[in-house]
Structure 1
Amino acid sequence: MREPVTSAARFGAENWSHRLSSQHVDEIDAALADVGRSDRPLLTVRARDFAVPRLAAELGRIVNLVEQRDGFAVVRGLDAGRYNVHGLRMLLWAMGQHLGTPVPQTTDGHMLRSVPATADAGFHSGGSDVSAFLVTGAGASASFVSSESLVREVHARRPDLAERLSGRYAFDRGAEPVPGELPYRLLPLTCRAGGRLSMRYRRDEIEAAHARPDLPSLGSADLDLFDLVDEIASDRRYRVDVQLDAGDLVLVDNYSTLHMLGAENQASPQLLRLWLTLPTGRDLPTGFTWESPGYGGRGGRGGAVPRDVISLPSGCAGPKSRLATAV
């Protein structure tokens, strides 16, 4: 993977920017028209129902670059103003079907969510292999930092703190109560598997979990480490900043790259977000991720565990249709 932290100035748009052709857009319009004529509920649509052979091949090429090399991509060429709200949701959901397996983002089974560009307060990793965002309003921006280079910078600046990167911290599960399970996950910040480094970082979730009375409080060294990670990620010399336009599709590998979303003004634009498991995602050790129930197919990796799925006896497939919640 390229390393924007140590070479942000040289990591230009020719690496991360991709533009759809008029043929891709024509395929999208034809596929949306077919799905619309059949009046299909959003979450019943699968890749086979959204026939976009040229686009599917291009998306496969791009997501492979994201996972194997660049860590993120911005796919341009869609005019968001040509589609209504349902069309944009269907578009992201259907493209996601050609990229991987969506996983739930909430315990209510929400698979696709609308989030403001100011929802993310700092650099972090998402809750699945890849986060996919479709920008629905102008004025959004995004910033990206390579996990590999960030970790290297921590080792260079504060080797006394670097060993804590492989230590386990509690990540708060928020409103994800799971019967018989802890309200947090114990995970390392970083791990290496198959010769690749993976990083999971959500400072807000870690601090919330360690504020619990049944967990040890974070020490000064822990906070120093988080401050250093935030400082490196926020330094303009080490990050890649991208201005986003309505219709842009953003793909982020959540193990190799931390990201942050922003907006130019308080009237922040909305983005649609999908969490995806890749069919050929990287190897990860037990304890760094978890399986999440799928809908009508194999389970995903990461994401939230829907409450109704937890309560279902083994083999009860029928009620799963009630969990197909779009937003």
Structure 2
Amino acid sequence: MPTITTAEEATMLQLQDTASSCGLRRSYLGTEFNQPQVDKNFFKPCRVSIVDDAPRPDIKWNPSYVTFVKRVDRLAVLASDRPTSLPEGFPASVDSARVWSGSDFEKPSSYILNFSEDDIKEIENGLAYFKGLPGDHGPDDVTKETFPLPELAERLKKIAYDLHFGHGFAVLRGLDPDRYSPLDNILLYLGITSYIAETRGAQDYDGRMVVHIKDMEKNLPPETGRPSPYSSRAQPFHTDRCDILAMYALGVGAVGGESLLASSGKVYNEIAANRPDIIHVLANDDWIFDEFLSYPKWQTGALLFDFGAHGPSFCYSRRPITGAPFSPHTPGVPAMTEIQAEALDMVHFTAKKHQISITLQKGDIEIFNNLALFHGREGFVDDESHKRHFLRLWLKNEEMAWETPETLRSQTAELYEKKGLDAPPKWDVDHAPPVPRVITRHMRCS
């Protein structure tokens, strides 16, 4: 049990225990001792005991297929009362263009827009127009109006439509980032993407609007745990917290680093057809998400959500659920169940079965619907002349955006309305965040 050192801590633990016995999840009674807060939306029967060494399923952040198969076989023997129908309100299948398998894209031309020399000239003219505007303007001021692209606009609008109502992803190819300064690279990146999704989201509580995705190992003390955006390790399938995700490749590694995408609609359809009981598990809101603080604190929620006319889709990252070697669970945070472990890995390996692997080139802008697709990446190796360095944006197209499920609306307010930030929006133009930000485990997405 946690050590109680003050009267305030004792009072809070007593309040939590009382609330839990009344059917209120402890995790929603704030553990800031002087500011207890109750979330009225989470009155549900659930009593959770804090234990420091909770037994956990054998499940890894980057999962093992052998372990997954053994778990499936073991649970098949034990489980005799699995649901044989889908939860109420969930369709038998998603039927739309966002349902695909990687083998459907034999021709990369179906998702790559190659910029011509005239296109590049138009982009550079748009950049010059923006920089020539009177007054002091920065990245926040880039819009369709301040960065005119008269010929490209319609093609970029078509890409926006495909992201929301088509297969959900595109690669824009032909830029040479070495031709531009760090600031100009960000400005033209924002100018192009403003025609696809103009609203930009803050990516951390410090208000960072762009994140530099690169291996930071040489910049950190030995044995420092790094979230995946700042490492070279492979990443399992997950989603971020935005509507549209964009990555601009300022540089690529010497080996590896392929971008992996998978249709969440395809994953849903296959699991719904073969294991409807797993859909129940994924849609239940009893998943534990570790907040990775110095004391045990967590949130609960679902992994699978109803996106209205677009059908069911997923929103989660594995690390807060499984922990990771570089980010172990906080002692006292409850463990997931074996059935949840089976469901989580089933999603991953179904996505892997239907993935498309894209080798991005220097200068590419990859952009996709984060609500329609899972993404991951292969591990990579840099050398002196080939260093992977991507700029990530979280975006939203206000006209075409999918309707946000009610349970996800609070995070939308954080991202796009900048609510709850510790600082005004900021732009790290030519560098990654400071070391304390890089090594923190309390992140929105990793």
Give TM class, smaller chain.
Answer: 0.7 to 0.9
In structure 1, the partner of 2:214 is 116
Shift of 1:173: 5.5
Offset from partner CA, 1:53-79 (integer Å, 9 cap, x none): 222322111021011111111111212
Alignment equivalent of 1:265, drawn from 360, 381, 386: 381
Shifted more, 32-41 versus 52-61: the winner is: 32-41
Larger Rg: 2
For 2:275 and 2:252, how far apart are their aligned partners in 1? 40
1:192–1:42 CA distance, 2 compared to 1 (3 A): closer
1:214–1:206 CA distance, 2 compared to 1 (3 A): same
In structure 1, the partner of 2:320 is 205
For 2:266 and 2:401, how far apart are their aligned partners in 1? 21
Shift of 1:107: 0.4
For 1:325 and 1:185, how far apart are their aligned partners in 2? 30
In structure 1, the partner of 2:243 is 129
RMSD: 2.9
For 1:183 and 1:219, how far apart are their aligned partners in 2? 16
Counterpart contact for 1:132–1:250, Cα < 8 Å: yes
Shift of 1:245: 0.5
Shift of 1:90: 1.5
Larger relative contact order, structure 1 or 2 (CA cutoff 8 Å, min sep 6): 1
For 1:210 and 1:288, how far apart are their aligned partners in 2? 26
Gaps of 5+ in 1: 176-181, 309-322
For 2:330 and 2:292, how far apart are their aligned partners in 1? 12
Shift of 1:52: 1.4
In structure 2, the partner of 1:316 is none
In structure 2, the partner of 1:231 is 349
Structure 2 residue identity aligned to 1:23: D
In structure 2, the partner of 1:290 is 410
SS in 2 for 1:258: strand
Structure 2 residue identity aligned to 1:326: W
Gaps of 5+ in 2: 1-95, 216-227, 429-446
For 1:108 and 1:185, how far apart are their aligned partners in 2? 24
In structure 2, the partner of 1:154 is 271
For 1:212 and 1:263, how far apart are their aligned partners in 2? 26
For 1:265 and 1:291, how far apart are their aligned partners in 2? 34
Shift of 1:103: 0.8
For 1:100 and 1:170, how far apart are their aligned partners in 2? 33
Shift of 1:183: 6.0
- Which structure shows the higher strand fraction? 1
SS in 1 for 2:271: helix
Aligned length: 299
Shift of 1:247: 0.9
Q: How does 1:102-113 map to 2 (within 5 A)?
A: 102-113=200-211
SS in 1 for 2:213: strand
Identity %: 23
Shifted more, 101-110 versus 212-221: the winner is: 212-221
Offset from partner CA, 1:237-259 (integer Å, 9 cap, x none): x1101110011111110111001
In structure 2, the partner of 1:58 is 155
SS in 2 for 1:250: strand
1:89–1:261 CA distance, 2 compared to 1 (3 A): farther
Counterpart contact for 1:141–1:244, Cα < 8 Å: yes
